[in-house]
Chain A
Amino acid sequence: MSAAWTRRHLLGLEELSADEIRTVLDTAASFKEVSTRSIKKVPALRGKVVVNMFVEPSTRTKSSFTLAAMRLSADVLDFTPSTSSLSKGETLVDTAKNIEAMGIDFVVIRHPASGAPHMLSKVLRASVVNAGDGAHEHPTQGLLDIFTMREVKKRIEGLKVAIVGDLSYSRVARSNIWGLLKLGAEVIACGPSTLVPAAFKELGVRVSYNLDEIIGEVDVINLLRIQMERQKSNMFPSIREYARFFQINEERLKRAKPDVMIMHPGPMNRGVEISPEVADGERSVILKQVENGLAVRMAVLYLCSGAKEIPAAEESHADAGDQRR
C-alpha cells in the first residue's frame, strides 16, 4: 500500500508526485477506520519519539499531531522554544541538534520563517515534518483538505475548487494548490488583487478578483483566514470592505451550486471571511476537516517512519504495559 512512499521528511506538497499524495490519502483512510474502533491505538510507532517544536502559536495543529503520535503509540515531547533565531538567542539548528542528541525520531516543526523545516532536514537524522513554515507550505493541512474533498465528492480530478482570501501570505493555499493541481483539479484563486499575486497564474491557477462571478461554477470553496494586521500595510482598506466583496454568507451562497462544500482551515473570523450561519450550516465541512486531520497526520508520521504495514490494534493489556514503563 505504501509502495509509492520512500521519503523520510514531509516538507511540502510541491515535491510530491500524484502517486505519493494518493498513498498518503489511502493510508489516512485506513487510519480513519482505526479511529472508529473501541481501542483507537496501534503500536506502529511504539518506542519512537516525536518532538513537537512549535515556534509559532498553534492549538489545533499541535493537538492534532500530538494525538496522532499517541494513537501510533509514540512518545511525544512538547518543545516550545521561547525564542526563534529571528529574535536572537540560540539558533534553530543548534536547538534541534540538542534535542536530537536526546534520541528522537521525528521533529514536527512550525516556524514563522519559510524554509525553516528544510534547514533542519539538512542537518538532522530524524524525520522532519513541516507543520507550517511562514507563507510557504502547510502540507498536512493541504492533505487533510484534499482528503476531505475526496471523501465528500468521491473524486478530485475535474473538481473546481476556489481558494478565497489572502493567498499571498497563505501556506494553506500553496499546499492546496500543489496537491489539487497534481491530482487534476481546477483551482481558482480569488481575493483582492493586493492579496492574490498574478504570479499564481504561472502555476496553472486561474485568478479572479470577483467572487460573485465564479461562485456559481465551483464545487468547493476553501476560505482562508484574513489577518487583521494586513489591513495596516494597505493590503485592503477595511475589514468591512473585505467582507462586502469576499465574505461567504447565505445571500452569496444562493448563487452557488446546491452541493458546494465550504471549508476553512481555522481559526475562523466569524463575520469577516465567513458568516456564522454558513460556518455552522449544512454545507460546512469545517469540523470534518479537523477530524480528518488526525488520520492524515497519523498517515504522515507512519509513512515517514518507513513502516511497511499497519499493525493490528493494541491489546488493552499491552496498552497498560506501555503506561507502566
Chain B
Amino acid sequence: MPTLAIKGGRVVDPSQNLDAVADVLIEDGKVRSIGAAARADRVIDAKGLVVCPGLIDMHVHLREPGKEAAETIASGAAAAIAGGLTTIAAMPNTEPAVDTEAAAEFVVLQGKRAGMANVLPIGAVTKGRQGVELAEMGQLLRGGAVAFSDDGSPIQNADVMRRALQYAKMFDRAIISHAEDKDIVGSGVMNDGKISMILGLSGMSRVAEEIMVARDIALAAVTGGKLHIAHISVAGTVELVRAGKGKGVRVTAEATPHHFTLTDECVRGYDPVYKMNPPLRTKADVDAVKQGLADGSIDVIATDHAPHATEDKEVEFAAAPFGVIGMETLLPLVLTELVHGGVLTLSQAIAKLTVNPARVLGIAKGTLTPGADADVTILDPGCEWTIDPSRFRSKSRNCPFAGRKVRGRAVAVVVGGVLHQLESRP
C-alpha cells in the first residue's frame, strides 16, 4: 500500500490532547506518525485545514434489509463519506431485525462490499425487538455487533431492561436506550405544548422521555451495566444524566443536530420533514441540550439518520413516519451551531464525534495515535455554503435543513488508509 502524508494541517486529536500544526503519515492502513513527515508516495496539502480522527456517527438507520427504496447499506455508507464520516453504527430496526449473528454478519459484509465508510452493526437487545426475550447478544458480538439497542421500540418492561444491562455487562458492551414511555406518548406526533395545541396535533409529553431515562439510570446503577441514552431531547433528561454521572453511574448520552438546532415552531406549516421521534422541543430544551454538550453531560453527537422514501414521508403530518436524515449535514451543523456559535471549542466538538463515541462503542477508533486505523477526516471549518439535499448521496431527501446557510465542511476523508476526495460545493 502506498504511503500517504497529510501535510501542514492543524491536527486536532482530543484522544491525545493534541491541537497543533503537524503532518500525519499513513502506512499500510495505519497511522504511522504525527510530526514532520519526511516523504510519502502521495502528499495532501492540508494548510489552512483541520485534520482530525475520522468522524463517527454512532446512530444511523440504513434500512437494509427491508426498505431499500429509502436507503441501502451502500448508499448510507456513501452518504457518510460525503458528510466526512469514516465510521457509522447501524441500528437493528430493519426488516428482519438484526437479532442474530447471521444478520449482523450481513451488515458487516454489505458494508465491506460498499467499500466506503466502516459500517458497524448494533444488535437488537431482544428477539425481534419485541421487548420480551433477550437476543443472543454474545453471538451478535461474534457477528460484528458493537452495542445493543431496540431503538425505535423502547423496552417497556423494566425487568427486561434490567436483565439486558446485567447480561451485556458480561461483555462490557453498552445498551443504547431510546427512552420513551409508549403509554404516555400514545398517538402523539409532535412535542406536547403550545404549538401542538395550536396546530391540533397530538402531543408527545416530555415526561415520557424523563420517566424512561430515570428508570434506566436507576437500573444501570443497580446492575453496574453500561447505559447510553440516545437522542436526548428535553431539559429534564439532561439533568437526569448529569445527576447520574455525578453519582458514578455508567451512563453516557448523545444529542442530535436537529435537537440542538430546531424547535417545535418548525412544525407550523405541517411539513412532515420536521417530524421525528423524539420530536423537536422548545427553545429552553435546545438551550439545555447545548448546556449539556458544553458541560460534558452529553458525550456524543450523533444523527439518528432516518431515511424515508418521499412517497412515504410526504403525506398528512399525522400519517407520516418519524425521522430525518442527517449524515450529510452533521459536521456543518456542529461547526455552525456549536463551534462558531460559541458552545464548544473545536476540540470539544471533535471529541464528541471521535473518541467519545468510540469509547461508548468500545472500538479502537476515534484516535490518530500511531498504530491506530488510518481513519482521518480533513475539514475546512470556515467555508460558507448552503445545504442542498438534491446533491446528497443518501437515497432519501427528508432533510429539515434544506436551504440553510452553514459554515464548514469536510474536504476529504481517509478510511483504512484509502483516500476519498469530496466534491467541492458552491
Chain A residues at the B interface, C-beta cutoff of 8 Å: 14, 84-86, 91-93, 111, 113-116, 118-119, 133-137, 168, 171, 174, 197, 199-200, 202-203, 233
Contact = CB atoms under 8 A, between A and B. Distances in A.
Nearest to A135: B200
24 contacts: A84-B316, A86-B316, A86-B318, A91-B315, A93-B314, A111-B316, A113-B316, A113-B318, A114-B270, A114-B317, A115-B199, A115-B270, A115-B317, A116-B316, A134-B200, A134-B201, A134-B318, A136-B200, A136-B201, A168-B197, A171-B200, A174-B200, A202-B194, A203-B194
A39 B311 CA distance: 49
Interface residues of B, number: 19
Contact of B199 (A84, A91, A114, A119): A114
B200 A85 contact: no
Contacts of B408: none
Interface in B336-394: none
A215 to B, nearest CB: 25
A137 B200 CA distance: 8
A306 B191 CA distance: 38
A111 to B, nearest CB: 7
A280 B416 CA distance: 81
A197 B200 CA distance: 12
Contact of A85 (B198, B201, B269, B319): B319
Contacts of A197: 197
Contacts of A92: 315-316
A200 B316 contact: no
Contacts of A86: 316, 318-319
A174 B316 contact: no
- Chain B CB within 10 Å, residue with most, of A86, A115, A199: A115
Contacts of A135: 200-202
Contacts of A114: 199-201, 270, 317-318
B422 to A, nearest CB: 34
A133 B200 CA distance: 9
B152 interface: no
Interface string B293-328: 000000000000000000100111111000000000
Given A86-B319, A91-B311, A134-B318, A14 B198 contact: yes
Nearest to B270: A115
B123 to A, nearest CB: 32
B316 A199 contact: no
Given A91-B315, A113-B318, A199-B193, A118 B270 contact: yes
Contacts of B198: 14, 174, 203
Interface of B: 186, 193-194, 196-202, 269-270, 311, 314-319
Contacts of B199: 114-115, 136
B309 to A, nearest CB: 12
A93 B316 CA distance: 9
Contacts of B196: 199
Given A136-B200, A174-B200, A199-B194, A85 B270 contact: no
Contacts of B319: 85-86, 113
Contacts of B269: 115, 118
B9 to A, nearest CB: 45
Contacts of A113: 316-319
B321 to A, nearest CB: 12
Contacts of A202: 194
B320 to A, nearest CB: 10
A111 B311 CA distance: 19
A131 to B, nearest CB: 14
A120 to B, nearest CB: 10
B16 to A, nearest CB: 50
Contacts of B315: 85, 91-93
A233 B317 CA distance: 22
A212 B194 CA distance: 27
A133 to B, nearest CB: 7
A97 to B, nearest CB: 13
A293 B130 CA distance: 51
Nearest to A174: B200
Nearest to A199: B197
B340 to A, nearest CB: 33
Contacts of B202: 135
A92 B316 CA distance: 8
A168 B193 CA distance: 11
A141 to B, nearest CB: 14
Contacts of A168: 197
A61 B317 CA distance: 24
Given A86-B318, A115-B318, 18 more contacts: A85-B316, A85-B319, A91-B311, A92-B315, A93-B314, A113-B317, A114-B199, A114-B318, A115-B316, A116-B316, A119-B316, A134-B200, A134-B201, A134-B318, A168-B197, A174-B198, A200-B197, A203-B194
B161 to A, nearest CB: 26
The 6 A-B pairs of least Cβ separation, nearest first, read A115-B270, A136-B200, A135-B200, A113-B316, A114-B200, A199-B197
Contacts of B314: 91, 93
B248 to A, nearest CB: 38
B197 A119 contact: no
Contacts of A119: 270, 316
A280 B318 CA distance: 38
A93 B196 CA distance: 23
Contacts of B270: 114-115, 118-119
Nearest to B196: A199
A115 B196 CA distance: 12
A111 B202 CA distance: 15
A14 B315 CA distance: 23
A96 to B, nearest CB: 12
Nearest to B316: A113
Looking at A119, A136, A171, which has the most chain B CB atoms within 10 Å of its CB?
Answer: A119
Contacts of B311: 91
A84 B319 CA distance: 10
A217 to B, nearest CB: 25
A113 B311 CA distance: 17
Nearest to A115: B270
Contacts of B186: 233
- Which of A92, A113, A168 has the most CB atoms of chain B within a 10 A radius of its CB? A113
A168 B194 CA distance: 11
Contacts of A171: 200
Contacts of A111: 316
A107 to B, nearest CB: 15
